[in-house]
Amino acid sequence: MAQKAYRETFNDGFLQYGYKQTKRSETGKRLGEIFTAEGRLAFKEVTCRDQDYQMAGIMSASLDLKVKTLYPPSFRRINKSKLKVVIDEKEFDVIKADPDNSKRYLHFYLQKVGAST
C-alpha cells in the first residue's frame, strides 16, 4: 500500500539566510563585516544524531543546531557553504546544507558564531 504524502509544518520560526560582506571606509580601510540577508525560510528544529556530530567534528566545527526547511529552487545554484543564517538575532555559520533524497527539504547544520551566551 502506497504511503500518502503529508504536508510538513515548519512552525519553529523563521531564519534569515545571506552572506557576510566586508564594510570599507571611503579610503578602502576594512571596517568590519555586515550581514546581508538574501531571504528567509520557515524552519523546524530537528534532533542531531550521533553521525551529525561526527560529521561536524570531521569538518573541525561544532554542531549547535540542526534545522529543516523547504528546499527553495534558487538554492540549487548557490554555494551553500558560504551562507550565514540568523535566527532570533543569533548568527550561525552553515557547516553543511544537505537536501533530502526527494529534493523537497533541506537540512541546515549550524554552528553558532562568536562566544556562547
Across residues 89-100, what is the average pLDDT?
92
Q: E strand or H helix at 61, and its extent?
A: none
pLDDT (0 to 100) of residue 117: 42
Domains of the chain with CATH codes: 13-112 (2.40.10.270)
| Distance (Å, whole) CA 48 – CA 57 | 13
SS (H, E, C) 68-94: EEECCHHHHHCCHHHCEEEECCEEEEE
For residue range 64-83, list pLDDT tens digits in order: 999 999 998 888 888 777 89
For residue range 8-29, list pLDDT tens digits in order: 889 999 999 999 888 888 888 8
pLDDT (0 to 100) of residue 103: 87
What is the reported pTM?
0.84
